[in-house]
Every structure is written in C-alpha cells, then in structure tokens.
Amino acid sequence: MRHNLRSFRFSGRFSKDGRALAAQLLRDEGFVFEPLPFYDQAMRLIHEPKPLGSSLAAHFGHIYIQDASSMLPALSLISIIGPGRDKNICVLDMCASPGGKSSLAANELAAGFVLANEPAPKRLNTLRRNLQNLNMFNCAVSSYDAAGFPLNNFPGWDYILLDPPCSGWGTADKAPRTLKLWRGDKLQPLIRLQRKLLAEAWRLLKPGGSLIYSTCTTNVQENEEQALHALEYARGQARLLPLPVPEGFEFDEPCLNLSGVLRVAQTSPLGQGFFIAALQKSASSAAFPAQAPIMPDPAASGAQAKRTLPGGAISPEDLETPLVNTGLLPLGRILPREGKLLFYPEAGLDLLPASFKYSGFCLGGESKAGGAPKMPDTGLRGLMPDPREAREKGAHILNMEDIAGVRKLLGGQSLNIGENSRPMKEVGLYYKDLPLCRLKVKGKRLVM
C-alpha cells in the first residue's frame, strides 16, 4: 500500500554545519523529519504541526517542498555529469515551472549555469518567485515556446532537462481524476507535443551532450515509446545511458525491454509514479540535424553572434556592505535593466547569442538619477556572511534564539533597537547563526 509521505529538501550550498542550522530551525517550530537515503539533502516529514509551506525555513528559502520522485531527474543529471560539477556547465530546463528541477540542478553545480524556461505566463511567475526565494544566483529565466527556441548556428547545451506536459497518471493517488481525464484520443495531442519537444531538445543539444527525459505518468506511450522514438529520430546518433538506481524507491520493470531507464512504481514507499530516461548525443553528430526545424535568428549570420550587452555594468564591490558579500556570487555580470539590478552568470553570456531574450537573477532595485546603486534586496540571505564574519566587518547583528521574535517581525511588527552610539542602515537577522534576511532601520525601529 502506498504511504502518504511528504518530502522536502534543504536548499543552498550548505556546509554540514549550515544544513544542521536549517534543520534546527525546523525542529524548533515543531517539525519532525528524517533523512531519505537517495540524497543527502532530502528529508521525509514525520510530524507537521502546521503546513510546511508556512514554516520559517520555507519562507526564508532554506527548504523546498518537493515530491521525492520529482527530485530524481535533476539527480540523474548530476550523476551523469559526475565529478565535473565544478566546471562551467550549461543546462537548459525546457519546461521548468515550478522550479524544483532547475533549482536542484543549480544547487549542485558549483560553477554552472541553468536556464529555466517556462512557456506558460501564469506558471512563469511561480517559477520566478521560487528561484528568487531560493537565491539561485546561477539560474536565469526565459519564456519561449519550448517546441521552437530562437537559436540557430548555436553550439548547443551541455545538458537538457525535459519534463514535458503529460497525463500525470503517476499522481493518481493525489489527483484521481487524471486517470479519467487523460484516456484514449485525449492522449494523442500530448504524445505529439512530447515528440515535438524531444525533437527540439535534440536539436539544441551539443554533440556529446545528454538529455534527461522524464514524466510523472506510468503510461508506456509517453514513456518507453517516447524514448524509443527519440532513439529512432536520432538515426543512430544516440544511445541510452543507464541510470543509477536510487535507494528507497520501489521500481517496476521497464516496458518494451528498454533497459537502463527508471520507472518508479505507483506503489513505491517514496514518491509518486515517475519515469526517467537519459539519452546521449553522439560526439560525431551534427549540431543541427537537417530534419529538425531551425528557427530564424536575425542576429546570427554564419558564426554565432557574440552577446554584446549594453554598458553600465555594476561592479560587485559597489554593492558590498558588511552584510552583503558579493564574493558569494558565481562569475558573472550585474547589469541595470528596467529599474532592477540583474545578475547574469558568465557561462550564459558566453553561450547565448545577442538576440536571445532572457532575464538574469534579480538582485534588487537600482538607484535613481544614475547615483550609487541601492543595496541588494534584503531577502538575499545567500549573500550574507556568517555572523562571526559579519561582526568582524563591523555589521550590526540580531542573532535570535526565539522563534516567536522572528514570527513577530514576519507578521509586520517592529523591534526597538534602543540606544546605539553607532548609526546603522541595516541589521542582519540570524536565527542561531542561520542567515535569514537583512532588516531595515527606520528611526529606532527594526522592520522586515
């Protein structure tokens, strides 16, 4: 019998001590959880005194609630990359919202770049919000029709995640209507769309690159048949990569004698029904197969057009304060765009042509009238040094030991700072050494 388990993962490039601090915050709010065996940052919730999404850990981006099975595509990608995670690897997530796969991949890539693409406008806002809350600085966002990206004469992506729209049969425990809704002729448009997306993914993949194809359905037509179709489409220029079997799940035997893929069973004690396959493009394959559509790119004629960004880049040092360490950003550039300061990872700037429109990570608002830039957004706890380092730099620190105090600030109440001989512009809010955010100073009050 399937167990109703709620899973989540810690988010951020935590040291072992840092993860322990985030775990302590959850425990102090009354949550009880235990580690899952397939990923050192994945947890199973045992006791939930209130909705996990309303926890302080979730609010401040230290955890991300995610079904265990849906962690597997990004973890499969990381297993394929192997020990080369410290390189400038470029990953495209074609249908990215709500951001679980993109953020997990970005979390594990020390110097990589992840472009999270979401065609649906309503889902795009959710994607942006989640990546922002998780402080995924090496993620950027685009919103193209995933069946036809405007990229031509393009070197290709190192890795692609494709989790296309599907029938969702694997989620039937939570949404039983899916089994009735997606049947018979209603499946055919989905299957055709999945094949279009597979063709576009193959076109965009660089020779030698790898594609992770996944669905949350148990339907063989959307799973093994699509993997076989992709192999046939590649005309001998592709192979299936065998995926490691993660601990803790129950797996069904793959259909159609297709070995090396993962089919999470509907009865698995962990996660929902899921399918994952990994395909590698031959190193000798053409970058743009003739049978795939090539979208016109007016900015690229002949060789790839180098992305030339307008001037006015902001020096990271201009944003430094005792509570903001821009040295924690990946290699990249900070550029003013429409009243905001956006961070663009260098790997993406080197890869994408000038005509390709995408948005970097928002660091906050820029100054008016061309003056010095404003400080980065106060919620960027990923740029906050540990409290000891912050104190050594002369920062004002509020290192709370009381959950209720943090809750009051979050609820809109302010705190009296009392008499202080030193002027202050901001105060770092920590909970038992865990960075949460930077507080604003208004008169003699601290506000979130």
Q: Which residues are catalytic?
A: 216
Report whether 439 contacts 429 (CB < 8 A).
yes
Structure-block tokens of residue 56: 């302080």
Contacts (Cβ under 8 Å, ≥6 apart) of 232? none
Nearest to 427 by CA among 389, 398, 394, 384: 398
Structure-block tokens of residue 150: 């405007």
Structure-block tokens of residue 25: 């915050």
> Hey, what amino acid is at 389?
E
Report whether 24 contacts 432 (CB < 8 A).
yes
Report whether 373 contacts 318 (CB < 8 A).
yes
d(CA 319, CA 231): 49
Please state whether the peptide bond connecting residue 98 to the residue before it is cis, i.e. omega within 30 degrees of 0.
Answer: yes
> Hey, what amino acid is at 235?
R
Nearest to 279 by CA among 176, 139, 159: 159
d(CA 119, CA 146): 7
Contacts (Cβ under 8 Å, ≥6 apart) of 277? 212, 213, 214, 223, 224, 227, 240, 243, 258, 260, 261, 262
> Hey, what amino acid is at 14?
F
Structure-block tokens of residue 88: 């400038």
Q: How many residues does the chain have?
A: 448
Torsion from C-alpha of 61, 63, 69, 73, nearest 10 degrees: 50
CB atoms within 10 A of CB 357: 10
Torsion from C-alpha of 419, 424, 426, 431, nearest 10 degrees: -50
* Strand-pair partners of 435: 430
Residue with tokens 């947890």, as numbered in its chain: 43
Nearest to 2 by CA among 81, 69, 87: 69
427: three-class secondary structure by DSSP: strand
Contacts (Cβ under 8 Å, ≥6 apart) of 165? 95, 190, 193, 194
